[in-house]
Structure 1
Amino acid sequence: MSAGQLTLLDCTLRDGGYYNNWDFDLDLVERYLQSMVSSGVDIVELGFRFTFANKAKFLGPYAYTTDRFLNQIHVPEGLILGVMVNAADYLKAPEGDVAAIRNFFAPKVESKVQLVRIAAHVAEVATCGGLVSTLHELGYRVGFNIMQSNSCTDEKLAELVRAIRGFEHVEVLYFADSLGNMDDAETLRIIQTLRLEWDGPLGFHGHDNMGKALGNTMTALSNGVSWLDATVTGMGRGAGNTQMEYLLVEIEKNSHKSVNPAQVIDLACNDFEAMKKHYGWGMNVFYYLGAQHKVHPTYVQDMLAQGIFSPNDVVTLIDLLGENTGASYKSQGVANLMTARFQRAEGSWSSRQLFENRPVLIVAGGPSAHRHWTAIENYIQENKPIVISLNLLDFVPLNLLSAIAVCHPGRLVPLMNNSIGVPLITPIQSLPSTITNSLSSSTIYDYGMQVDPTRMVPQDTGCIVSDALVAPYAICAALAGGATKIELVGFDGFDGRDERFHKVNDVFAMLLKVAGNTPIHSLTLTHYDIPQRSIYSF
């Protein structure tokens, strides 16, 4: 195949699987394959071929795309099938990279797969020669994808290309806009740099974090890139990719290749649009901001999927990730970031000043607190407890609060440059200066916080907590301050099937253990294993 012949590759199932664990219905897949061949798409990359050892949870068939599974699928005549491998999976395999390839790939004559693309981070590229040569020996066409290529200088990129050229059997060299922060000028820079060392076909995989995937793809095409990736409705990790239906329309309009967009548009509207609404891929302001800060889009995807972060939380965490090597994704990256930030177990404020020998009511934002607020307010009026809200809650009158406890930087954003007349209990010395400088008009109770997953230690001026959550932070302050009892409302909690339930429930188990003789009760319904009473029993 010459460098100038246009090849369209659709990788919807492979990249889209990040949203549904690569578990697509077979009837959908067969309609998808038929629409691909009818539209003029040349290659479908059906999935990954992950190694089995490193995947300790259920993943659907398109995570592994085994030959046995592929034999169940009707593949329309004329359509080329491909799979992708992550170089790291095979380079780190206990049996060695070459043996791992042979373990997971039969000779080509026994497989429906024709093309294997190797995706490698910059640091892995030079060590991939064995993967390339073994796949070639087995009879496969080989593509090579340099991830986060625009993080490289021209010199480094040229060095990587020379290494890949030395592998001899790479048919097409791809560069990917992994962080979704490329523009036309950057796309052109990389193409020109690659061309200094590579005269074969070039490919481009665009991400849509900033809404530039299609534009960058067309820029790549007009500058000699002949292999173009896209997915139906852009389905793919994070904000997603160049949308195949739009790319086909552009290609048809400009007569680059004989294509027919109609069936893919029908598939997008009738099959994938419902999934898009459910899973939420596509450009939004958080992916745009993440691209600006060079943050891996999976961090944003994870935060949005968890449903526990406010918009301010997400914005603040993107900012922090941008300062702390957020370009490389790690599954515990956000949690580790928070753990690393909170390492000061002592503050400058004594919790005894507020809590000693007083009953305490801590208000969380669960639906039960809002639903039973009249009864809660009656309880406050009659019993005169110290009232602490966890973060700023819009249904709680400020005049009833003794203080607001906040430890997550994002939850302080609404309070910046806006004194509300209620003191803030917060580990001020552990927070970003951009936030602390904006709290100068607020009264701050500087109660320290250190995160250690194995410990829960209430102390007079700060605490050690097992997780960077505001609930244990506030409860520890009340315990250390000598509260006579601690009552909780609005701690509804997650459903027991949600893994977050177990995480928070373990936190409460540790709190109840260190509480000693100080009683802790939930006065509204809670899923957690906390002793309960009723707000209506007083």
Structure 2
Amino acid sequence: MKNIKLLDCMLRDGGRLFDCKFSDYEISQITDRLSKSNIDIIEIGFLRDPAKTNYTKNSTFFNDVSQMSRFIPRDTKTKYVAFADYGMFDPDLLPVCDGSSVTGLRVGFTKKNFNQEKEGVKKALRDVKSKGYELFIQGVNSLGYNDEEFVEVLEMVNEMEPFSFGIVDTYGAMFPEDVDRIYSLVDKHLNKKIALDFHAHNNKQLAFANSINVINLCKDRTLIIDGTLEGVGKCAGNLNLELIVNYLSDELGYNYDFDEILDTIDEFIRPLKNKYSWGYSVPALMGGLYKSHPNNIIYLFDKFRLSCKDFKNIISMIDKEKRQRYDYDDIERLYLEYSDSKIDDSYALERLKAKYENKKVLVKSPGHTLIDYKSNIDDYIKSNNPEVITVSYTESDFMCFVGNKRRYEKLIDKKHEGFVLTSNVKNKTDLEDELIVNYNSLIDRRYALYDNSVMMLLNLLKKLRVAEIAIAGFDGYELGKENYNDESFNNDRQIEKTDEINREISKMLRDFIDKVNPEIKIELITPSLYEGTE
């Protein structure tokens, strides 16, 4: 059974690259050529509230479906649709569908819309159907939902009974395993009468592979695959329509006119390449890794001359929620903050390597087990003769690692062999017993607790190529117990989030151990709520 349909979103999603400023001639020609190529569905543009967007021709930002009708060829089997973002169009202004213009409307909503305005979303969807349009539901950023939340969306979709529902990889962040997981939820919970749409972006160069994956998975319902000519779109762009056309035609026997597609690319897409750039790049990859709105990527790329590593670090600094939007003032602030903390730490790393490279290292975190298991720790030191480094507290014979400015200020006058400081604590020093390392090179902002000092030190020791790491006093947090070896530490912030903190640090430690295995052996030598991660 040929259950696959192709949807071209060139005039809508592709057009976002240049604010949808297609000439009327280009719109007419592209729709006509795609129709002649036997593309099943063509998305002709955005439908926007006239109070928010003023349509003045030579654009695919429309205010009324009647403005689209002149671009739709007569006597065609191709279906024409428009895209409406919830909150950006007024369903009350939507005329009854009479077949003279688009016959379907794709309605997109965000997780925030779903959580805070669910009834409003449902009303808008019902209104589209009641006016006689085929309803295509597109939930933005499918990866933004956990499994339970996604099932809630699917339940609402079943209630609405649309023509289709979309898995949307808004930031090009999906790996094939993500596709498998989300598809399994769809397969189990979405009514089989509802078509499935897959919308991919190419930040990780996986748009084509992920689309093939969905094709192989989806055999018992109609499947719609979105794409654009030559992958046109903001930042990394979309699935290349010509790739999927060729695959379906040559491998699965579908009847698309590949030559007509190529002619359309030559005439209308190649000229765009002289004015605009899109496609895979390392900055676009960062957008996929950190699920960031493409405008953040474009602004950083155009505004600042950044190395790839600096680009990654600044994108990772943007708050997770804010990454999905764009705030140029916030990006400017983060750029300045990052610039202030970035240093040349080559001298510090050279000295630290001389001390720790290929050595056994004992990391002493300030948990209460340092007191309870002191004799065990002393025996370990006697038997193994490791280099010892403390974290956030001092002992007179050992180096002390500090990743927090307030903690450093409490320790300045205490006895120690020397300090290893991160550059957010201090970005320069004249003291011989202080070494400063780049803060941003030791953290991964994909974790909520990325600035945990023990994890930062472990990342530093990895850079220093130590042979083995033993960890003591990395206890975890328990309510009603003394968690630290020093009363100067504050327990207050852990009171309500103990389990959450323990889970997050456990994951960070487990991921670190997996990453360095087998090059570096990791051992927890005192009891720890994290020790199941060994």
Normalising by the residue count of structure 2, what TM-score does the alignment of the two structures yield? 0.60
In structure 2, C-alpha distance between the alignment counterparts of 1:299 and 1:161, rounded to whole Å: 30
Q: Offset of 1:11 from its aligned partner?
A: 0.4
Change (3 A) 1:60 1:237: farther
2:321 to 314, 321, 325: 325
1:117 aligns with 2:117: no
In structure 2, C-alpha distance between the alignment counterparts of 1:335 and 1:57, rounded to whole Å: 29
1:297 aligns with 2:294: yes
Q: Offset of 1:436 from its aligned partner?
A: 4.3
In structure 1, C-alpha distance between the alignment counterparts of 2:29 and 2:177, rounded to whole Å: 38
2:140 to 135, 147, 164: 147
In structure 1, C-alpha distance between the alignment counterparts of 2:250 and 2:109, rounded to whole Å: 34
**1:7-18 aligned within 5 A:** 7-18=5-16
Q: Offset of 1:315 from its aligned partner?
A: 3.1
- Give the structure 2 partner of residue 197 of structure 1: 189
User: Per-residue displacement from partner, 1:244-296 (whole Å, max 9, x unpaired)?
Assistant: 01111111121252112112122223421231342211111011122112222
User: Per-residue displacement from partner, 1:414-445 (whole Å, max 9, x unpaired)?
Assistant: 845379xxxxxxxx989xx96547955799xx
- Give the structure 2 partner of residue 207 of structure 1: 201
SS in 1 for 2:45: strand
User: Per-residue displacement from partner, 1:58-82 (whole Å, max 9, x unpaired)?
Assistant: 9953112633432432525222211
- Give the structure 1 partner of residue 59 of structure 2: 61
- Give the structure 2 partner of residue 102 of structure 1: 92
SS in 2 for 1:83: strand
In structure 2, C-alpha distance between the alignment counterparts of 1:28 and 1:209, rounded to whole Å: 27
1:261 to 248, 258, 263: 258
Change (3 A) 1:21 1:197: same
User: Per-residue displacement from partner, 1:459-482 (whole Å, max 9, x unpaired)?
Assistant: xxxxxxxxxxxxxxxxxxxxxxxx
- Give the structure 2 partner of residue 167 of structure 1: 160
Q: Is the 8 A contact 2:201 2:239 kept in 1?
A: yes
SS in 1 for 2:12: helix
Structure 1 residue identity aligned to 2:314:
L
In structure 1, C-alpha distance between the alignment counterparts of 2:73 and 2:112, rounded to whole Å: 36
In structure 1, C-alpha distance between the alignment counterparts of 2:175 and 2:153, rounded to whole Å: 22
Structure 2 residue identity aligned to 1:143:
F
1:274 to 244, 260, 271: 271
User: Per-residue displacement from partner, 1:198-243 (whole Å, max 9, x unpaired)?
Assistant: 1221110000011000111111111116111000111123311101
Change (3 A) 1:418 1:147: farther
Structure 1 residue identity aligned to 2:48:
F
In structure 1, C-alpha distance between the alignment counterparts of 2:88 and 2:306, rounded to whole Å: 34
Q: Is the 8 A contact 1:21 1:59 kept in 2?
A: no
User: Per-residue displacement from partner, 1:383-419 (whole Å, max 9, x unpaired)?
Assistant: xxxxxxxxxxxxxxxxxxxxxxx94525875845379
1:235 to 219, 232, 235: 232
Q: Is the 8 A contact 1:314 1:410 kept in 2?
A: no
Change (3 A) 1:414 1:172: same
In structure 1, C-alpha distance between the alignment counterparts of 2:99 and 2:430, rounded to whole Å: 70
2:17 to 13, 16, 19: 19
SS in 2 for 1:116: strand
Normalising by the residue count of structure 1, what TM-score does the alignment of the two structures yield? 0.59
Structure 1 residue identity aligned to 2:181:
R
Change (3 A) 1:434 1:48: farther
Q: Is the 8 A contact 2:69 2:102 kept in 1?
A: no
SS in 2 for 1:23: coil
Structure 2 residue identity aligned to 1:289:
M
In structure 2, C-alpha distance between the alignment counterparts of 1:59 and 1:435, rounded to whole Å: 53
In structure 1, C-alpha distance between the alignment counterparts of 2:30 and 2:63, rounded to whole Å: 16
2:150 to 151, 157, 163: 157
Q: Is the 8 A contact 1:245 1:268 kept in 2?
A: no
User: Per-residue displacement from partner, 1:15-66 (whole Å, max 9, x unpaired)?
Assistant: 1221222111222222212321222211110111111323489995311263
SS in 1 for 2:292: coil
2:338 to 401, 404, 409: 409
In structure 2, C-alpha distance between the alignment counterparts of 1:10 and 1:60, rounded to whole Å: 19
- Give the structure 2 partner of residue 248 of structure 1: 245
Q: Offset of 1:86 from its aligned partner?
A: 0.4
Structure 2 residue identity aligned to 1:145:
Q
- Give the structure 1 partner of residue 125 of structure 2: 132
In structure 2, C-alpha distance between the alignment counterparts of 1:269 and 1:435, rounded to whole Å: 52
Change (3 A) 1:58 1:176: same
In structure 2, C-alpha distance between the alignment counterparts of 1:210 and 1:412, rounded to whole Å: 29
Q: Is the 8 A contact 1:119 1:147 kept in 2?
A: yes
In structure 2, C-alpha distance between the alignment counterparts of 1:318 and 1:113, rounded to whole Å: 39
In structure 1, C-alpha distance between the alignment counterparts of 2:332 and 2:337, rounded to whole Å: 8
- Give the structure 2 partner of residue 489 of structure 1: none
SS in 2 for 1:47: strand
In structure 1, C-alpha distance between the alignment counterparts of 2:274 and 2:344, rounded to whole Å: 33
Structure 1 residue identity aligned to 2:105:
V
In structure 1, C-alpha distance between the alignment counterparts of 2:422 and 2:246, rounded to whole Å: 46
Structure 2 residue identity aligned to 1:210:
K
In structure 2, C-alpha distance between the alignment counterparts of 1:58 and 1:236, rounded to whole Å: 22
- Give the structure 2 partner of residue 6 of structure 1: 4
Gaps in structure 1 of 5+ consecutive residues: 91-99, 342-405, 420-427, 444-538
In structure 2, C-alpha distance between the alignment counterparts of 1:178 and 1:251, rounded to whole Å: 24
Structure 2 residue identity aligned to 1:41:
I
In structure 1, C-alpha distance between the alignment counterparts of 2:430 and 2:198, rounded to whole Å: 51
SS in 1 for 2:103: strand
**1:339-378 aligned within 5 A:** 339=333
User: Per-residue displacement from partner, 1:474-519 (whole Å, max 9, x unpaired)?
Assistant: xxxxxxxxxxxxxxxxxxxxxxxxxxxxxxxxxxxxxxxxxxxxxx
**1:17-96 aligned within 5 A:** 17-55=15-53, 61-64=59-62, 66-76=64-74, 77-90=76-89
Q: Is the 8 A contact 2:83 2:106 kept in 1?
A: yes
Change (3 A) 1:259 1:56: closer
SS in 1 for 2:254: coil
In structure 1, C-alpha distance between the alignment counterparts of 2:263 and 2:347, rounded to whole Å: 51
Change (3 A) 1:202 1:78: same
Structure 2 residue identity aligned to 1:310:
L
- Give the structure 2 partner of residue 400 of structure 1: none
Structure 1 residue identity aligned to 2:97:
K
Q: Is the 8 A contact 2:291 2:324 kept in 1?
A: no
Q: Is the 8 A contact 2:66 2:101 kept in 1?
A: no
In structure 2, C-alpha distance between the alignment counterparts of 1:283 and 1:122, rounded to whole Å: 27
Structure 2 residue identity aligned to 1:207:
H
